[in-house]
Amino acid sequence: MRIDILTLFPGMFEGFIHESIVKRAILKGLVEINIINIRDFTLLKNGQVDDTPYGGGSGMVLMCEPVVRAIESVKTEYAKVYLTSPQGQVFNDHLASDIYNSCKHLILVCGHYEGFDERIKNFVDGEISIGDYVLTGGEIPAMAISDALIRFIPGVIDTESFKNDSFKDNLLDYPVYTKPRVFRGLEVPAVLLSGDHKKIAEYRKSEQIRVTKEKRPDLLK
């Protein structure tokens, strides 16, 4: 899978691509991640990529020219292009799965300031939001979206751990425990120490249902 991230702040992605599971996926050749600086595509000598909004108002608006030129510099015939925006479709595990299964080249354009010139939306496939709140920029959403997609790639994470992730079958994951058996009077459930794999599987399924009812009953509707 190839992911191109278009941003005004490439340095924000240093840790994302050079640490942990994402780094290992890149080194294994399972995913290609390219960070593209939108400022490299402005035609203005001062490097300007934004300007004041027509009609007045506060803030600055990302200009069409540098953003569209940046998109066109990396776009392939099979690419899908999404803006990170609080106005977009809310991202969840189902959307992540849909994008992964239908797209082998993803382009994410990080929003900033007051947002994108509306005309830019004619050059993309959609907008994605990671929740009903506003951040200072689209870099963190781009990382979250990329991370969720990369986990689907075979070989990135252990297949068994993937099976019981939260949101599989519209259920949250079951509680997990590790050593010691007792910590400050809090004990690991006895069934997990029994060695009876059938009982453990039944317990974990019942715990998934219980936890989902308590924390996210909307998933069971």
Residues 6+ apart with CB under 8 A from 212: 170, 171, 172, 219, 220
Beta strands in the chain (DSSP E): 2-7, 32-37, 50-51, 61-62, 79-90, 105-110, 126-129, 182-183, 186-187
114 belongs to the catalytic site:
yes
**Tokens describing residue 109:** 């354009």
SS3 91: coil
- Three-state secondary structure along 14-59? HHHHHCHHHHHHHHCCCCEEEEEEHHHHCCCCCCCCEECCCCCCCC
217 belongs to the catalytic site:
no
Question: Using CB atoms within 10 A of its CB, is residue 69 exposed (0-12), middle (13-18) or buried (19+)?
Answer: middle
Give the single-character DSSP code of 221: -
What span, in angstroms and rounded, lies between the C-alpha atoms of 167 and 94? 8
From 72, 165, 196, 202, the catalytic residue: 165
From 40, 65, 93, 114, the catalytic residue: 114
From 50, 66, 139, 151, the catalytic residue: 151
From 40, 86, 125, 204, the catalytic residue: 86
Catalytically active residues are 86, 114, 151, 165
